Structure 1
Amino acid sequence: MEKKKKYIGHFISFIKLLIPSLVLLFIIRGFILIPVPIDGSSMEKNLSQGDMILMEKYTSIKRFDVIVFQLPDGEIYVKRVIGLPGDSIRYEDDQLYVNGEKTAEPFLKNNKSKQYDTNPYTTNFELSDLINQDILEEDSYFVLGDNRRMSKDSRSFGAVESKYIIGKAVFVYYPLKHIKFIN
């Protein structure tokens, strides 16, 4: 009888820990860190088809952050922020210019080193050619995939309004060989 009471006491203690843990897990998974699958090759070599990432909703978006957004057509995209509200963006001879200044893109190093032809990795463009504006509007972001030759991004669908941004990608958790923080 004493042994049975001991087991019941352990079981009740376990339940007292389990319920708050599950509630906390539900809150974190549902509202803070949300899993998102990578579908497609537009972010290759940094994110791969089939990777599972964690996205968080509550930090501000900065240049070169990887964001998750859903356009009005219902498609969910994962792309890198190149232009912030108020920026002018252009590419010339495979070089990014933000507000007229050369801007390095170190996250493209692996992608560019694998290219053996003479074509530019990112084709020339000016923001005004793509969205008929010289600078991005107050709530608009210009996004590109890291795999520039194979990405459907702001060059085809225009700037992304902040109301369509779901969150910022922060961590790859699956497959295990790809585990890393997303910078």
Structure 2
Amino acid sequence: MEEKIQGKQKNEFVEWIKAIAFALLVAFLIKQFLFTPVLVNGASMEPALEDHDRVIVNRIGPKFKSIDRFDVVVINNVIIQNEEKNIIKRIIGLPGDKIEYKDDQLYINGEKYSEPYLDQYKKELKDPGSLTYDFTLEQDLNETTVPEGYYFVLGDNRRVSNDSRNPEIGFIPKEKIMGTTSIICWPIEHIDLRFN
């Protein structure tokens, strides 16, 4: 009788171990291939994202649909000052686009585009200067258009953002884009399901 009880306890223990191992495997696979939490480091995406916010990255979406203009993306392994980092930026230029900024206004292929996500920042400027300095792709990167298979990205906090305007970063190849993000999951007071 005692052997039956011990055998039952052993079987129960084995079943628990299997269930825990399966749950850990599922959690690992979800994190690796579907949704990954990422820590925001720095102020380059303010006011949409603040330093130390945690966002959820949709890794699977970009594999099945195109990356759209103005999506916020996490980019893997960007080398900045000889250091490899993941960065969060907004897609501004798609392959084949001609990008220009003039008088704080975005022009894509000669057409004016509004950027409502910058309105708050522009209102809060304490000086008469512009949020985004004037530039063209040719000036900054010696290209007239965004090359095929690449994207041009900017941080929302244009005065401090280290982004595609910097030749060290330049155009971002599609394979370096980990995924898109539109969910802030931490801290509690910043939780937002659509911050764009």
| Aligned: 1:64 with 2:70 | yes
Question: Cα deviation per residue 1:65-121 (whole Å; 9 max; x = unaligned)?
Answer: 111112245122111110000100000111000111000101112111111321011
SS at match of 1:54: strand
Q: Which residue in 1 is equivalent to 2:51? A: 49
The number of equivalent residue pairs is: 180
* Cα distance in structure 2, aligned partners of 1:49 and 1:150: 13
Q: Which residue in 2 is equivalent to 1:84? A: 94
SS at match of 2:97: coil
Question: Cα deviation per residue 1:151-170 (whole Å; 9 max; x = unaligned)?
Answer: 11111132112232222223
SS at match of 1:113: helix
Among 121, 128, 151, the alignment partner of 1:118 is: 128
Change (3 A) 1:32 1:121: same
| Alignment TM-score, normalising by the size of structure 1 | 0.87
| Alignment TM-score, normalising by the size of structure 2 | 0.81
Q: Which residue in 1 is equivalent to 2:148? A: 138
1:51 CA displacement: 0.7
Higher alpha-carbon deviation: 90-99 or 161-170: 161-170
Q: Which residue in 2 is equivalent to 1:168? A: 180
Among 88, 93, 109, the alignment partner of 2:103 is: 93
Aligned-partner residue type, residue 53 of structure 2: D
Aligned-partner residue type, residue 191 of structure 2: I
Task: Note the residue ranges of structure 1 that are not aligned, 5 or more in a row.
Answer: none
Aligned-residue RMSD, C-alpha? 2.3
